Amino acid sequence: MKLKQLLRLDWDAIAGIVAAVAVLVMHFLHVIEADILLMIAVVLIALLFLRDLRRERHAERMNESVQQTEAVVKEIQAKLIPPDVILIGPRQLRTVSEGFLVHARGDMVWFHVCLLMYKPQSLFDSLLRPAIENPLVTSIQFVLDQEQRELWEDELVPKVMMCRGKEKVKEPYWTTIEENVSLIISDIGSDKRTECLLSFWGEPFMAHTVGRDVPRYIFHVQSQSELVGRFVDLVRSYRVSA
């Protein structure tokens, strides 16, 4: 550590100072004449000036190198095509889901979600409550299969009633859903880009535990994907049929 600190010292400046002090001492001791003292001072000033010129040139080269690197990075970024869909595995599942709910805004649609997943209070608090209590979310509309009506009334409604913002949760659209997909659709961020979380019923995307199915893998569908529009149309068709 001390060696690194020594290497950082400005040895050119130190050498110049030492030489200047030595010359002054010798002058006071009448070892050298004033003319020689003046000549040595001029030489030291010239050396320091040359050192500054070298450093300035080095700084210019470094600046040019940084600018070239920035240009290359920008060019690479411009050529990168963002993915339409991102696969989320078990380790990131809860983090991504909670982040999606926190950044959601506007009207949210929950299509064909498994209500058994929200039966435990802990899962309800982490995977549904954040959306209900998010002040930027104006409404939450469920589109559910008829078979889940009893579960909705017995398990979900009491939990929803305990949340701030419970009034934004609308009465579900009840219908018969034949699709094997589950969707959470919402606008995300200040630019209000529409994204969705997509999961599939059944293995290997859904894990069956005691009494309920829990998503094992989900897909985060990005706003630029054509799938977003298709899913919005799919949900609209079921809402109309309901």
Dihedral sign from CA coordinates of 124, 129, 132, 134: negative
Q: What's the rounded mean pLDDT across residues 55-73? A: 78
CB 165 within 8 A of CB 197: no
Q: Which residue has the higher pLDDT, 141 or 17?
A: 141
pLDDT at 89 exceeding the cut of 90: no
Could you identify the residue written with the tokens 């649609």? 109
What does pLDDT average to over the chain? 82
Least confident of 64-68, 83-87, 191-195, 203-207: 203-207
* Residue 213 token pair: 């199915």
Q: What's the pLDDT score for residue 7? A: 43
Q: Assign 3-state DSSP to the chain and report helix, strand, coil percentages, each to 5.
A: 55, 20, 25
Q: What is the fold of 85-241? A: Endonuclease; Chain A (3.30.870)
Residue 34 backbone class (left: φ over 0; alpha: ψ -120 to 50; beta: rest): alpha
d(CA 239, CA 242) in angstroms, rounded, equals: 5
Q: Which residue has the higher pLDDT, 11 or 135?
A: 135
Q: What's the pLDDT score for residue 39? A: 67
pLDDT in tens, 132-170: 999 999 999 999 999 999 999 999 999 999 999 999 999
CB 144 within 8 A of CB 115: yes
* Residue 61 token pair: 């080269």
Which pLDDT band, with edges at 50, 70 and 90, does 201 fall under? confident
pLDDT at 4 exceeding the cut of 60: no
pLDDT at 191 exceeding the cut of 70: yes
Least confident of 164-168, 183-187, 205-209: 205-209
Q: What's the pLDDT score for residue 34? A: 60
pLDDT in tens, 25-53: 665 666 666 666 666 666 666 666 777 77
Which pLDDT band, with edges at 50, 70 and 90, does 234 fall under? very high
Question: How many Cβ atoms sit within 10 Å of the Cβ of residue 127?
Answer: 21
| pTM, two decimal places | 0.67
CB 66 within 8 A of CB 188: no
Least confident of 29-43, 79-93, 190-204, 210-224: 29-43
193-200 and 218-221 strand pairing: antiparallel
Q: What's the pLDDT score for residue 105? A: 93
The residues spanned by each domain of the chain are 2-79, 85-241
